[in-house]
Amino acid sequence: MPKMSDFVEIAAAEYVSETGSSTLDPRWIAEFFQDCGVLEAYPRQDLVAFHALVQKAIDQAADRSAKQARLHVQQMSRRERKLRGA
């Protein structure tokens, strides 16, 4: 049986790849919750709590991506300054 964290990560990755959005759609997560086995594996799991877990995972991934993008821009700016100064 997959762990709850596995279900959360799978749901977050699938949602972002399907929609490209970082705001979780309640209908989408309800469908995932029912169709992908979360309900069978964890019958006491609350849909609202699962939604919150998946939204948190999506937010964390978006924050990591934004941080990586900022670092990349900073690196490119430094390289450009080096090239202009040389």
Q: Which band of pLDDT confidence, cut at 50, 70 and 90, is reported for residue 25? A: very high
Q: What pLDDT, on the 0 to 100 scale, is given for residue 86?
A: 64
Q: Yes or no: say if 36 and 28 are a contact pair by the CB < 8 Å rule.
A: no
Q: What is the mean pLDDT of the chain?
A: 94
Domain span at residue 20 reads: 4-85
Cα–Cα distance, 78 to 29 (Å, whole number): 42
* Predicted TM-score (pTM) above 0.85: no
**Mean pLDDT value of segment 38-52:** 95
Q: What percent of the chain has pLDDT over 90?
A: 91
20: region left, alpha or beta (phi > 0 left; psi from -120 to 50 alpha): left
How many domains would you assign to the chain?
1
